[in-house]
Structure 1
Amino acid sequence: MAVFISLLTLGMSIPFAIGLPSLVYLYIQGGIPLLKGIGLASWGSMNSFILTAIPLFILMAEILQRSGMTLRVYHALATLFSRIPGGLLQTNIIGCAAFGSISGSSITTAASIGSVALPELTRRKYDPQLSAGSLAAGGTLGILIPPSLAIIIYSSFTETSVAKLFMAGVIPGLLLTLMFVAYIAWKAIRNPEIAPKTGIELTWASGIRSGIDLLPFGFLIGITLGFIYFGIATVTEAAAIGCLGAIVLSAVYGKLTIRNLLDAFESTVMMCGNILFIVLAAYLFAYAISYAGIGEELVSLALDMEMTKFEFYVFLFIIFTILGALVESVGMIVITVPLLFPLLEPLGIDPIWFGILVVVYIELGQITPPLGINLFVVQAMWKGTLKDVVIGTIPFHLLMFVLLAMLMIWPELALWLPSKVYQ
């Protein structure tokens, strides 16, 4: 772990920083014969039906974004929620939550909503720090509200039910969305200058038009997630259906062209290449720590120390806070889960609940400097400084800590819904 952190600090990319120390360790311990197991580990890491859902969900989001469906949804939400204090800042959060339920990706969500919202926010003279912060923090909802790429990867490592994990993320995701909305409303009531009136009026006619604009998007979400939750299709099959639905809806309601479709394919390939390369390196890392017996040693150490759940939570807070400032979401999962997962059973911790906790920590990491990826995504789309984006996210950081505390005190926030649906 120390070698990995050192390499990362020196600027080496995550898959190489994970993979190279693993290969060196295996060679030192067993030479060429031990390295022969890499082929099997590599095949096992990629030969996963669950992982095939990742490129399909990314492609679905890319098609919707490039066809202009994101713009349509954003304007509809801006009209429907125009009377809530905070105006377009509220639309940022609600739009991120809505688009996150399709994209499953924090980066895609922040980029899609940010590209539409920032020009409007700047033109209407909204508070720049809160505008940027709401987009960076709102984008993180994309990896908590299902479908979530982070949850899919967690499931592939732990062999935990994806459907149950998706269901477990619903209440915490909606709760965090409401907390963000409530904070912005409170802030706007105290200081109306941060969110000037948009000039958008909600009438019966405009409300009906906005509802009609949202119907195709809502139908796509309902079909995709409904097939998963009710066991009609696997996650991968539902993602494929979602892609087909996105193409049809974008062609009918959006501006889908052959050029846009090809661009969506190209972007999907590049994003998936990055994600799956990290997953491959992570399996090499897991192979190395398994050979070293580190998992068994950690379990034995925890039992000898008689570690309580509270002490384990403190340990999680420390490790994820450090990693959140250095590693992006997939990297956090692949580094920590193989090490920490063996500790869950001795401590009596539910793996479904733990998966949601890990995802919330990842959300924090996405907006934690110096390497919080959402900070750079938002900063790249506007004329403000990175410092403004960071300052704007601080209140949302605190709200995420509140959610973490609530999950630790009341695990039922994550476990109640799966227990009722999958009895």
Structure 2
Amino acid sequence: MNDLMITGLLVLTLFLILGSGVWIGLTLSGVAWVGMQMFSARPAGDAMAVTIWGSASSWTLTALPLFIWMGEILFRTRLSQDMFKGLAPWMQALPGRLLHTNVVGCAIFAAVSGSSAATCATIGKMTLPELQKRGYPEDMVIGTLSGSGTLGLLIPPSIIMIVYGVAADVSIAQLFIAGVLPGLLLAGLFSGYIIYWSLRHPDQIPPRDAPMSFMKKLEASSSLIPVVLLIAAVLGSIYTGFATATEAAAVGVVGALVLSALQGSMSWAVFKDALMGATRLYCMIALILAGAAFLTLSMGYIGLPRHLAEWIGGLGLSPFALIMALMVFFIILGCFLDGISMVVLTMGVLMPTVQKAGIDPIWFGIFIVFVVEMAQITPPVGFNLFVLQGMTGKQLPYIARVSMPMFFLMVGAVLLIYFVPGIVTWLPTQMKL
């Protein structure tokens, strides 16, 4: 049986099982077992046991539940709620005024969260009621929040970066550093779009609040200090080489617990909810990663990644054409799968091709984060769209439509980092970790 028929059969099996409602992690393991049993001489049972154990016991992966837990603590305490009060006075002078709190708030929270959905939900909880109460246009409020929430994946620490680093065997600390400038670039593009839109529609922006003195602004911003300290502790410990990504995650958890306790918003109920929320989310991700590791091994024994790499290599695509083709591929894939599943399903197959094309794996990791971000705001499986649908009661097509300008800005950002790769690679080369 040729590779095309085997691939088609396995993909069909994958979607049939997924469509029946079976968990993604179990589906991946099942398809891998079928593939190995039917098309390989290696016994599937012991290969499954060894691979899943190896995936589940990875030390590198320890950072993941810790960063998720840190985000859950912030999500459930007053630390996040104080951010709007601290940001609002500084946004009044900009065209678009308080619409920028969506972008800046998401960028700040992204630096301590690592999750797009958590960033979108947390900042949305603060900004949606305030901006709607002050009369800001609903489509811009929802659209900018939907796009800005994706910064949770790009600005480190990032769950997707950890997953990619494990799947592609790339330094997670280097990926974190590489994501800083692209994250700031994307936040700048979002704010630039708000400025452009508001200058074209000045009648739709409410008048500014009463002027505040500089000292009053500083006083209002004091509520930002705890979050800024936490960001400095987590990212500073990585960038100075004082801690690995996993150790920095532990610093973040301890810092979040201490700050929320000092602030008086930590209770036993909050602690338990944060811990259980992080446990549930990590168990889901770990099961997906274990299933994907076994699927990658199975595909390797069948020989599909090598044959696919040879086929793509034979097409003679330039690096630019390859990146554009992969961007379209991931955007389509993102219509059906969540970001983590996309990464773990494809890296085993794509990395040989990417390396053969001479593409830097660190740069490719940031590219992957960008395309996964796009998937967060494309229906039907756009996690940020789901979050905003639950928060606003709006229909999914409406939220997707108002998010489209942010989607196109992300496409523009991918083109920028392709033609100016130093945006991604400069910081990692300055800090050898």
Equivalent position SS for 2:43: helix
Question: For structure 1, which segment, 118-127 or 403-412, has the greater mean C-alpha deviation from structure 2 after superposition?
Answer: 118-127
2:356 aligned residue (346, 360, 366): 346
* 2:4 aligned with 1:2: no
CA–CA separation in structure 1 for the residues paired with 2:119 and 2:359: 31
Equivalent position SS for 2:317: coil
Question: For structure 1, which segment, 392-401 or 71-80, has the greater mean C-alpha deviation from structure 2 after superposition?
Answer: 71-80
The equivalent of 1:229 in structure 2 is 239
Q: Deviations over 1:94-146 (max 9, x none)?
A: 10010001001001101111111111122222211211111111110000001
One-letter amino acid matched to 1:207: K
2:328 aligned residue (289, 297, 318): 318
Q: Deviations over 1:141-180 (max 9, x none)?
A: 0000011110011111122111111111111110000000
1:162 aligned residue (154, 168, 172): 172
The equivalent of 1:153 in structure 2 is 163
- Residues 213 and 402 of structure 1: is their aligned pair in 2 closer, same or farther, counting only changes over 3 Å? same
One-letter amino acid matched to 1:150: I
* 2:408 aligned with 1:398: yes
The equivalent of 2:249 in structure 1 is 239
- Per the TM alignment, residue 243 of structure 1 is displaced from its structure 2 partner at its CA by 0.7
- Per the TM alignment, residue 344 of structure 1 is displaced from its structure 2 partner at its CA by 2.1
Contact 2:36/2:43 (CA < 8 Å) preserved in 1? no
Contact 2:33/2:44 (CA < 8 Å) preserved in 1? no
The equivalent of 1:137 in structure 2 is 147
Contact 1:132/1:388 (CA < 8 Å) preserved in 2? no
Q: Show structure 1 runs of 5+ residues with no match.
A: none
- Residues 46 and 115 of structure 1: is their aligned pair in 2 closer, same or farther, counting only changes over 3 Å? same
Contact 1:128/1:388 (CA < 8 Å) preserved in 2? no
Contact 1:367/1:390 (CA < 8 Å) preserved in 2? yes
Q: Show structure 2 runs of 5+ residues with no match.
A: 1-9
- Residues 194 and 273 of structure 1: is their aligned pair in 2 closer, same or farther, counting only changes over 3 Å? farther
- Per the TM alignment, residue 31 of structure 1 is displaced from its structure 2 partner at its CA by 7.6
- Residues 310 and 128 of structure 1: is their aligned pair in 2 closer, same or farther, counting only changes over 3 Å? same
* 2:425 aligned with 1:415: yes
- Per the TM alignment, residue 261 of structure 1 is displaced from its structure 2 partner at its CA by 1.0
CA–CA separation in structure 2 for the residues paired with 1:139 and 1:211: 22
CA–CA separation in structure 1 for the residues paired with 2:148 and 2:411: 15
Contact 2:379/2:396 (CA < 8 Å) preserved in 1? no
Question: For structure 1, which segment, 52-61 or 99-108, has the greater mean C-alpha deviation from structure 2 after superposition?
Answer: 52-61
Superposition RMSD in Å? 1.8
- Residues 385 and 231 of structure 1: is their aligned pair in 2 closer, same or farther, counting only changes over 3 Å? same
- Per the TM alignment, residue 71 of structure 1 is displaced from its structure 2 partner at its CA by 0.9
2:101 aligned residue (82, 91, 94): 91
The equivalent of 2:276 in structure 1 is 266
Contact 2:339/2:376 (CA < 8 Å) preserved in 1? yes
Equivalent position SS for 2:141: helix
The equivalent of 1:35 in structure 2 is 45
* 2:205 aligned with 1:205: no
- Per the TM alignment, residue 42 of structure 1 is displaced from its structure 2 partner at its CA by 0.4
One-letter amino acid matched to 1:104: G
- Residues 341 and 202 of structure 1: is their aligned pair in 2 closer, same or farther, counting only changes over 3 Å? farther
Q: Deviations over 1:284-333 (max 9, x none)?
A: 11111111112221232233333321231232022112111111110110
CA–CA separation in structure 1 for the residues paired with 2:383 and 2:423: 28
Contact 2:88/2:101 (CA < 8 Å) preserved in 1? yes
Contact 1:83/1:202 (CA < 8 Å) preserved in 2? no
1:362 aligned residue (358, 365, 372): 372
Please report the TM-score for the alignment, with normalisation by the length of structure 1: 0.95
The equivalent of 2:261 in structure 1 is 251
CA–CA separation in structure 2 for the residues paired with 1:189 and 1:202: 23
The equivalent of 2:79 in structure 1 is 69
The equivalent of 1:44 in structure 2 is 54
Contact 2:292/2:344 (CA < 8 Å) preserved in 1? yes
1:220 aligned residue (219, 230, 233): 230
Equivalent position SS for 2:150: helix
Question: For structure 1, which segment, 59-68 or 139-148, has the greater mean C-alpha deviation from structure 2 after superposition?
Answer: 59-68
CA–CA separation in structure 1 for the residues paired with 2:150 and 2:80: 17
CA–CA separation in structure 2 for the residues paired with 1:314 and 1:212: 44
One-letter amino acid matched to 2:11: A
Contact 1:50/1:156 (CA < 8 Å) preserved in 2? yes
Number of residue pairs matched by the alignment: 423
Question: For structure 1, which segment, 360-369 or 387-396, has the greater mean C-alpha deviation from structure 2 after superposition?
Answer: 387-396
CA–CA separation in structure 2 for the residues paired with 1:165 and 1:32: 35
1:14 aligned residue (3, 7, 24): 24
Question: For structure 1, which segment, 41-50 or 26-35, has the greater mean C-alpha deviation from structure 2 after superposition?
Answer: 26-35
